[in-house]
Amino acid sequence: MKIGVIGAGFIGRAVAQLALAAGHDVMLSNSRGPHTMSSVLSGILGVQVGSAEDAAKFGDVVLVAIPLEHYRSVPAQWLEGKTVLDANNYYPNRDGHIPVLDRFETTTSRLLAEHLPHSHVVKVFNAIFAPDLTQDARPHGAPDRRALPVAADDATAKAQVIRLLDELGFDAVDAGGLDESWRFERAKPAYCVPLDQAGLKAALAAAERTVELPAVERVRA
């Protein structure tokens, strides 16, 4: 599989490392252009770099891992017909206040899906710290394997991403459609907490729409 990554931050780079180790081709990009990514090329063996448009065109699957405030900066036509992995999170102090999110009327993934009406958006990789992606990956069947939540409206795209997660070293829990993805957004019980499948299902079920838990202490990029 070819995986394009828009956003070469910690999450994007960690997913790239896992995908390359699983035998996939990966292109990373950032907003400043490939000429600024020499450290990425030297630090991640086998990765390709390009512009955001290059990465979008390159990928059969494209991971969007950028600050939520910039989600409209990705032109929708770049991602038409593609499975788009949404790792965005809403941090008002960083992104500015988004009233519909403050009022719990929609989800971060629904906002992205409305911006990308001809793409198949899957919420994934937002509820794990970047270092944990590489540290917690385990072979299929390992007793201490971590589970990650996945939400999507398109069943085919969701199944594709669940298979990819398995290849990268994680079990998956189907959290429903994009309108249910709030259950593993920031300040919910499942957010960035290492859990197996049973524990993750319980955490998703325990989430309350308008109740936000204290901030997770570790910094997530």
Domains of the chain: 1-204 (3.40.50.720)
Q: Which residues have C-beta within 8 Å of that of residue 33, sequence separation ≥ 6?
A: 51
pLDDT digits (tens, 9 = 90+) for 91-114: 999 999 999 999 999 999 999 999
Is the pLDDT assigned to residue 120 strictly greater than 90?
yes
- Between strands 120-123 and 147-152, the pairing is antiparallel
Rounded to two decimals, the pTM is 0.94
Burial per residue of 126-151, b for 16 or more beta-carbon CB atoms within 10 angstroms, e otherwise: bbbbbebbeebbeeeeeeebbbbbbb
Confidence of residue 214 (pLDDT cuts 50, 70, 90): confident
Q: What is the pLDDT of residue 215?
A: 73
In the prediction, which pLDDT does 158 show? Answer: 98
pLDDT for res 216: 62
Statement: residue 219 has pLDDT above 70: no
Residue 221 in this model has a pLDDT that exceeds 60: no
Q: Token pair for residue 19?
A: 């995908």
The average confidence (pLDDT) of the chain is: 95
Q: Give the pair of three-digit tokens for residue 59.
A: 């990928």
